[in-house]
Amino acid sequence: MSLFPDVQRKAQDEVDRVVGPNRLPEFDDYENLVYIKAVILETMRWMPVVALNVPHYATADNAYKGLHIPKGATILVNIWAILHDPEVYPEPECFNPDRFIKNGELDQDVPNPLNVAFGNGRRICPGRWLSGASLFITIASVVHTFNIHPVLDANGKTFDPSNHEIEGVVTSIESIPCTVTPRSPKAEALIRSNETPIQTLK
Ligand code: HEM
C-alpha cells in the first residue's frame, strides 16, 4: 500500500462504499469487495511467495512437449515466470489489480494466479483456503482503518523492493519503511472498540 498509493485509495473507496464507517469488514462482504479481491490476486501474482515452488520428484518416466523426463528427476515449477508472462499479464512488473476486473466483476478470462501460486498436484498447499481468507480480512480491515504512507529516503525516493530482496525458498523483502496512521478519529475508535484479549490454546 505504501508503494502504490492509487491502489490504496481505490481499495479505501470500495470499503467506504460497501462497508461504511460504522463497522469493520466481515467475511460476508467478500462478494461485494471486488477490488479487494483483485488486490489479493495481484499481490500473489506480482510477488509470489514461493517463486520456484518446492522441488517435486518424477515417480515414473514421463514425456512433456517432446522432452523426456526420467523417473527420479527433480522438477522445479517456475511460478514466478508463469505469473510474469507478458502474454497473459501485460506489463507484468506493474502492480495493477484492475487487470483482473471487467465490467465491475472479476474477469474470468484472466487466469487466476491462486491456481499457480500455491503449487500443484497432490502436494498443493493445504493452507490455501486459510491464506485466502486471511489475506481478504487483513487487507480489507487495514485499508478500511489505516493510511499507509511511504517514507522517502535521503534522495526523496520511495523504497524499491527489487533492491531489497532476501534470498531463500520463500520470497521476502526487508521491512518497507512506512508510516501507518488511523484514517480518522472514527476509524481509531473502531479499531479500539474491537480490541480483544489474546487467547492462548490450552
Ligand atoms: C500466501 C500464503 C501461502 C502460499 C503462497 C503457500 C504456498 C505453498 C506452496 C507453493 C507449497 C508447495 C506446493 C507444491 O509442492 O506444489 C506449499 C506447501 C505447503 N503449505 Fe503453503 N502456502 C501458503 C500458506 C500456507 C498456510 C497458511 C499453511 C498452513 C496453515 C500452509 C501449509 C502448507 C503445507 C503443510 C505444505 C506442504 C504440503 C505437502 O507437501 O503435502 N501454507 N505452500
Torsion, Cα of 143, 94, 40, 107 (10° steps): 120
- Residue of 59, 118, 137, 169 to mutate, ligand 1, most atoms within 8 A of C-beta: 118
pLDDT at 165 over 90: no
> SS3 helix, strand, coil % of the chain, rounded to 5?
40, 15, 45
Distance between CA atoms of 135 and 100, rounded to whole angstroms? 17
For the residues of 104-165, what is the DSSP string, one character each? Answer: TEE-TTSPPTHHHHT--GGG--TTHHHHHHHHHHHHHHHHHHEEEEE---TTSPPP-GGGSE
CB-ligand 1 contact for 126 (6 Å cutoff): yes
Which tens digit of pLDDT belongs to each residue from 101-159? 999 999 999 999 999 999 988 899 999 999 999 999 999 999 999 999 988 888 888 88
Which tens digit of pLDDT belongs to each residue from 22-46? 999 999 999 999 999 999 999 999 9
pLDDT at 196 over 90: no
Instruction: Give residue 75 CA to ligand 1 midpoint distance, Å.
Output: 17
CB-ligand 1 contact for 52 (6 Å cutoff): no
Question: What pLDDT score does 141 carry?
Answer: 96
Ligand 1 atom index nearest CA of 130: 27
Calculate mean pLDDT across residues 69-87.
97
Distance between CA atoms of 39 and 139, rounded to whole angstroms? 8
Instruction: Give residue 77 CA to ligand 1 midpoint distance, Å.
Output: 14
Question: What pLDDT score does 175 carry?
Answer: 84
Count of C-beta atoms within a 10 Å radius of residue 140: 27
* Pairing, β 105-106 against β 146-150: unpaired
Question: What pLDDT score does 134 carry?
Answer: 96
Residue 94 DSSP one-character state: S
Was 125 annotated as part of a binding site?
Answer: yes
Banded model confidence at residue 197, pLDDT cuts 50, 70, 90: low
pTM reported for the whole predicted model:
0.92
CB-ligand 1 contact for 41 (6 Å cutoff): no
CATH of the domain spanning 5-193: 1.10.630.10
The protein residue whose alpha carbon is closest to atom 25 in ligand 1 is 127
Evaluate whether 139 touches 133 at the Cβ level (below 8 Å): no
